[in-house]
Structure 1
Amino acid sequence: MPWAAKLIKQNSENRIAVYFQKNQDLIARIKQIEGARWSQQKTVWHIPDTIENRERFNIESLANSLPSMEAIEQIEKFKQWMRSKRYRQSTIDTYSEALKSFLVFYREKPVAEINNEDVIIFNNDYILKKKLSASYQNQTVNAIKLFFRTVRETKIEVDKIHRPKRAKLLPNVLSKEEIKLILNAHNNIKHKMMLSLIYSCGLRCSELLALQPAHIDSLRNIVLLKNSKGKKDRIVPLSSKILEMLRDYYKVYKPKTYLFEGQTIGLQYDARSLQLILKQALQKSEITKPATLHWLRHSYATHLLESGTDLRYIQELLGHNSSKTTEIYTHVSTKSI
């Protein structure tokens, strides 16, 4: 067979990725399929996820991968309920997809008849069989518990649904020397500015992308983070060096709505493009660690701790609800070692 195909997610849409060695004839043929597009990021051609296309590329039956009509209605009601409760869109998407996997597994069973034993069977015959991660299992449990709290008629006893045992993983931390190499890797001022702000303020990726020019208080040398994780506002200090960089950046780009905008004025910079900027910085710095943007936040917290900053203060800067979350950095700090 000259190609291989598999299901992928592209911009939250189900698509079929078609892999083949570069061949002008095959490219011409794939272009003839309605809706075919090339992904520069994934370096693959992808086409709409339809029954016809699945049959064309021998993908498993579409019918077996969709929930029942009742489940589709229930998932939509669940989405509406989460929106009314002001859940973040990323949480709504994650929980909906996790619940969908569960209800597809029981597509022949009425939702009202699903019980706790079914959750255990799903964990064993789907999650463990597919060797899915404990974090995915935990997300699914969260989705199932939240969903069945909104269902009036159910055999599920929500409080008796058990979570998987959490793996005790330490945060990944880069050295100060590695951070310096990463932050100096790009000549593009926007790329350098985004990475520098994430590290110097300990930001989450979503927090950086949600920043607006008005959130930078240059008189008080602080950054105001609005409506961050957990629907909380918080402030973080802004160094004079970063403030000078921001002023230079602002003169060049003159952002309108968001501090960092993509090619379309007024729209947030794309999170995947930001991850790619870090990847390029790692390559230029010849750092082989599989670092992510969140590693910069972990490094910020650890370096503060190593410099003698009080753990309670670091907790406030990171926006952690519990001090136990922040205490994990004591296990990777070289100060305690």
Structure 2
Amino acid sequence: MIGIQFYPDKVIQALIKELPNPKWSKEFAMVYIINTAKNLNQVFEKFRGVAWVNGNSFFKEKPIRDNEPVDINWYRNRIKTKSYRYVPEAYLTKLELKRYALNTCKTYISQFEKFINQYPNCPIIELSEQEIRTYLQLLIQQNKSNSYINQTINSIKFYYEAVMEMPNRFYNIERPRKEHKLPQVISKEEIQSMMICTNNMKHRCIVGLLYSAGLRRSELLNLQLTDIDSKRMLVYIRNAKNNKDRYSLLSETVLKDLRIYYKQWKPKKYLFEGMLGKKYSTESVAKIIRNASEKAKIIRKVTPHMLRHSFATHLLENGTDIRYIQTLLGHSSTKTTEIYTQVAVHNFKLIRNPLDL
């Protein structure tokens, strides 16, 4: 059920009577209606412009990540100009309190600032659905991707729903339909060629680990020396996506390279360190993969995430159970992992092309 508590008010009482089959609970001392998406939508529609609906007791909070502290002070300390609107301090504070990942913080701040600067003379709190829809139409006309538009909507909703505590204020804002793109994969031979063409041992280890353990780029950069378990031949991945820890495979080939790399570079804490012992940057990893693919003369543009896709696809083609692949990748559901069945070629090889019959 959806329970509704409110201060006595004739207008609100009259509107509540218009909700679908409202009833009174003596036990909880509140009005309630059946909990459906349609009824929830009606609650927000009915009181739009009349009252703020505080749904903090109803909606679940986003899980707190137990990662290192998020440092977004750069946004506070920027040199500011009068001609540009910056995110309110409350926006930054809420991001810190909820401990959102740093990349999420950067995206939200950037997208929300672009939105409010589209309406420089209108107070942020007074911006309505009409202004949001107009801005989204502008992004569509600029051929922005569905992902970009969804990130924009999330950054706007974060301000009104999380910062201003007005849950579902823009419940009816239309989102682009989800794109169902297949993962991009390269062959095992192409990956081996990338490693052979990479003379720098640190770079070779990065290419090898991304592929052989199916790592996300952020997971690779967070690896510490103690996360490489050479006795059990496992890689320990901590605080990955959705705040999950997991194990993945450690390749014997990569382990040999890692031992040579360690003697040469002597990292202190993180497996791959940049200047002054800090974590390697995401841009550096992308550049390493791009350079390695160019040296291997791979025509397609290769990204770090393509190595993860290739790892999963090659395991599936070799007959590995999809549930094991799900565990190695850290997917919450096999439905996410099943997308690789559409790019694995082992089943297609069993089918004879009608032209060749």
For the criterion TM > 0.5, the same-fold answer is yes
In structure 2, what is the Cα distance between the partners aligned to 1:50 and 1:147? 21
Match of 1:99 in 2: 112
In structure 2, what is the Cα distance between the partners aligned to 1:200 and 1:151? 42
In the alignment, is residue 194 of structure 1 matched against residue 206 of structure 2?
yes
* TM-score of the pair, normalised by structure 1: 0.76
Match of 2:238 in 1: 226
In the alignment, is residue 140 of structure 1 matched against residue 172 of structure 2?
no
Match of 2:127 in 1: 114
Deviation at 1:73, TM superposition (A): 5.2
Maintained 8 Å contact 1:261/1:268:
yes
Unaligned stretches of 5+ residues in structure 1: 1-11, 15-47, 52-61
Write the deviation string for residues 263-310 of structure 1: whole angstroms up to 9, x where unpaired.
x23211122122111122112111110111111111001101111111
Q: Per the alignment, do residues 184 and 209 of structure 1 end up closer, same or farther by CA in structure 2, a change over 3 Å counting?
A: same
Unaligned stretches of 5+ residues in structure 2: 1-72, 349-357
Q: Equivalent of 1:80, from 93, 107, 115?
A: 93
In structure 2, what is the Cα distance between the partners aligned to 1:131 and 1:201? 35
Root-mean-square deviation (CA, aligned residues, Å) is 2.3
In structure 2, what is the Cα distance between the partners aligned to 1:273 and 1:112? 40
Maintained 8 Å contact 2:94/2:163:
no
Q: Per the alignment, do residues 155 and 119 of structure 1 end up closer, same or farther by CA in structure 2, a change over 3 Å counting?
A: farther
Match of 1:313 in 2: 324
Q: Equivalent of 2:296, from 271, 276, 285?
A: 285
Deviation at 1:324, TM superposition (A): 2.0
In structure 1, what is the Cα distance between the partners aligned to 2:154 and 2:337? 22
Maintained 8 Å contact 1:212/1:258:
yes
Equivalent residue runs for 1:177-326 within 5 Å: 177-262=189-274, 264-326=275-337
Deviation at 1:156, TM superposition (A): 6.9
Equivalent residue runs for 1:56-67 within 5 Å: 63=83, 66-67=84-85
Write the deviation string for residues 219-257 of structure 1: whole angstroms up to 9, x where unpaired.
211111111122211111212222222112111111102
Equivalent residue runs for 1:10-25 within 5 Å: none
Maintained 8 Å contact 1:115/1:157:
no
Deviation at 1:119, TM superposition (A): 1.8
Write the deviation string for residues 11-54 of structure 1: whole angstroms up to 9, x where unpaired.
x999xxxxxxxxxxxxxxxxxxxxxxxxxxxxxxxxx9998xxx
In structure 2, what is the Cα distance between the partners aligned to 1:78 and 1:87? 12
Three-state SS of the structure 1 residue aligned to 2:235 is: strand
Deviation at 1:146, TM superposition (A): 2.2
* TM-score of the pair, normalised by structure 2: 0.72
In structure 2, what is the Cα distance between the partners aligned to 1:169 and 1:182? 25
Q: Per the alignment, do residues 155 and 234 of structure 1 end up closer, same or farther by CA in structure 2, a change over 3 Å counting?
A: closer
Q: Percent identity between the aligned chains?
A: 42
In structure 1, what is the Cα distance between the partners aligned to 2:315 and 2:165? 51
Deviation at 1:196, TM superposition (A): 0.3
Match of 2:170 in 1: 158
In structure 1, what is the Cα distance between the partners aligned to 2:302 and 2:74? 27
The one-letter code matched in structure 1 to 2:115 is F
Three-state SS of the structure 2 residue aligned to 1:255 is: coil
Deviation at 1:118, TM superposition (A): 2.1
Maintained 8 Å contact 2:161/2:168:
no
Maintained 8 Å contact 2:212/2:311:
yes
In structure 2, what is the Cα distance between the partners aligned to 1:153 and 1:280? 47
In structure 1, what is the Cα distance between the partners aligned to 2:239 and 2:276? 22
Match of 2:342 in 1: 331
The one-letter code matched in structure 2 to 1:221 is M
Maintained 8 Å contact 2:213/2:249:
yes
In structure 2, what is the Cα distance between the partners aligned to 1:49 and 1:164? 35
Deviation at 1:322, TM superposition (A): 2.7
Q: Per the alignment, do residues 155 and 105 of structure 1 end up closer, same or farther by CA in structure 2, a change over 3 Å counting?
A: farther
Three-state SS of the structure 1 residue aligned to 2:237 is: strand
Higher percent of residues as strand: 1
May I ask how many residue pairs the two structures share in their alignment? Answer: 274
Match of 1:34 in 2: none
